[in-house]
Structures are given as C-alpha cells and as structure tokens.
Amino acid sequence: MWILTLLLFIVILSIIVLVHELGHFFWAKKFGVHIYEFSIGMGPVVYSHKGKDKINYNIRAFPIGGFVQMAGEVYEDDNKINKKSFMCNKPWHQRLMIIVAGVINNFLLALLLLFVYALIWGAPNIKPEVGNVLENYPAYSAGLKEGDLILKINNKKIPTWDYAQIVLSLKNKNDYSIFTIKHKDGKIEDVKITPKKELDKETKVERKIYGFSVNTNVEKGFFTSIKYAFNKFGSIVCSMAITIKSLFTGALSIKMLSGPVGIYQVVGQSAAYGISQVLYLIAFLSINVGFINILPFPAFDGGRAFFMIVEKIKGSPVDSNFENLCHTIGFILLILLMIYISFNDIIRLFK
C-alpha cells in the first residue's frame, strides 16, 4: 500500500511542479529567451533528452521541485549567447510575466480542478454554518445548534469554514473561544466554548475538540461549480494569508506546518477517500505552492518580482551581486526550514 501512496505522492508533486515550470518555460520561449534546461525534480539527473530546440529536458531524482534554467536571469552570463536572448535584456513587462507565470499556472490549475470537482461531485457549502452538534461535547453544552451561522470567533470575522479552522488553531491565552453566532431566527449572541483536548492518532498533534461539524450540503450545476471554484479558491488564499501572518506574529506554531513527509501522509489519507479527494488535494497544494512562491521573499518568484518592482521604482536595476546574495541566503534559509519541518513530521510519525 505504501508503494502506491509513494507513487501517487510523486505523481501529485510532479503535476504541480510541471504546471508551475511550464508557465516560466512557455513565456520565456515566447519572448525569445535562451533556455538551457527544463527540469522536473531536484538532485541527480535520472533521465535526459535534448530536444530539437537544443534544450535539455531532464527528470531528476527528488520530486520536490523543478526549474527552468535561462540565460541571463540576473545579468549577462554567457559570451556565446546573443545579447537579445538574455532574460535580463528583455523589456520589464516580459521579465515580470516570465517570473510570475508559474504562480499563475498553479492558480489556474487549482481553479480548473475545483470546477471539475464541483461539476462531478457537487459544490459543498463553504459558509461557516453549523451541521451536526454532538451531545456531551462542549459545543452542545454551550448551546450551539444545527443551522447556526458563525459570524466571528474571538472577535475575528469568519467568512468561510476554512478561515474558521485556522482561527481555531491559533494560540489563545484563554482555554476557551468566543463564538458570535447568528441563529436561524436571526438572533445574534456570543457563545463561550471550552474545547476538549485530544491527541490525534494519525498526526500525533494535540487537537481541540468542540463537538460540531460544518454543514456539508452540496449543490450541482455548471454555474454553481464555477462560483464554487472561485469562492473556494479565495477561501484557501485567505486562510493561507492568515497562516503566514500568524507564523510571523507567533500566534501559530511552526510545528503546525507540514513538509514532504506530512504531505505524503495526507496523500495516503486522501487516496483512501477516492479520486474526488485526490483532485481536491492537488488543487489545494497547487494554491499553496502558488501562494508561497509569490511571497516577496528571496529565492521565491515573488522575491524576484520584488527586486523588479524596486528596479522600476528607482529607475535602474538592483546590483546583481547583491540580488544574487539575497537569493542565495533565502534559498539556504528555505532548505534549513524544510529540514526542520521534515524532522518534526518524522518525529510525529514515530510518536
């Protein structure tokens, strides 16, 4: 079983990386940038093919990334290449498009998959509406009822259930949360709920148990599916934004993040529920990859775009040595972060 999960894990990551890198590749080629290599994966090359366009198409050993190696990404670096073929010599808008195209592709893939998911299996309700409320659990004792709409949690507005889940996972100086609820009769009231704390047997992470589920009613239809795709996309992006913000403020522990090992576990769980959950997982991960990549942090696409925006504002390019140094430091920090997160994932496996 683990072999099938591993293969599915590789396929999912490869699809997301391939779509991302195809964005960079397509626009670089369209704008006439010289391309040396198009690679899926990182590390040693396990398969290589040189195309008629003289580009090396490679598959590398570790399916955790990929890249398009272009001439002159920061400055002219090859005396054998025509100056017009260097990326650094292309117009500003073309360079920006090449940089952000990977993220755009990831977002488009996610929207397409969410649309297909909703079209085939129906569009689930994403509003923070209460579904079943379990007896003998905190939510039931506090007076939460089926059909209630959650307006706020701890004074934070709650537009979707995705957002609510992130807010409930944030550090809280109190052992309870205040839910602002709108009942079916229109009455609005604050409800204090003190959750039970239980250790999740699979993730080995302590969970807060409130004892209620979300309303999961589904609707079908072509236009309903389109609406769901965009609404769910926006919901996940908003959840990602509050997650990143909370990591910096300390409201969310870095131990809550998952790396390749954690994703592998989620892949196995999703596969057990069938192709619908696998499609949703690909969409979810594709949004995550796109969102992370567009952050203005060195080594990310967003970091490169940031330097381009600075260039536009100041009217001249940022010093290439300084930019390369920033990207190198950023890459090292990302590797260290990935090692730390993966280490935590492995520890949870053996708890």
Residue 198 appears among annotated catalytic residues? no
Take residue 276 and report the two structure tokens written for it.
């619908």
Q: How many CB atoms lie within 10 A of CB 313?
A: 8
Q: Which residue has the tokens 């131990």?
A: 255
DSSP assignment of 176-201: SEEEEEE-TTS-EEEEEE--EEEE-T
List phi, psi (to 5°) of 50.
Answer: -100, 115
Which of 21, 129, 146, 189 is catalytic? The answer is 21
- Residue type at position 212: F
Q: How many CB atoms lie within 10 A of CB 115?
A: 21
Q: Give the residues across from 152 on adjacent strands.
A: 157, 180
Take residue 108 and report the two structure tokens written for it.
């488009």
Note whether 134 and 212 are within 8 A (CB): yes
User: Which among 228, 16, 162 has a CA at the least distance from the CA of 103?
Assistant: 16
Across 234-251, b (16+ Cβ under 10 Å) vs e yields ebbbebbebbeebeeeeb
User: What is the C-alpha R_g of the chain?
Assistant: 23
Distance CA 283, CA 269 (A): 16
- Beta strand residue intervals within the chain, DSSP E: 35-50, 56-70, 123-124, 130-133, 149-153, 156-157, 177-182, 188-193, 196-199, 206-209, 212-214, 218-219
Residue count of the chain, please give it: 351
Helices 275-294 + 301-314 axis angle, to 10: 30
Structure-derived torsion over alpha carbons of residues 75, 80, 81, 87, reported in degrees to the nearest 10: -20
Distance CA 111, CA 303 (A): 24
Assign 152 to helix, strand or coil: strand
* Residues acting as catalytic residues: 21
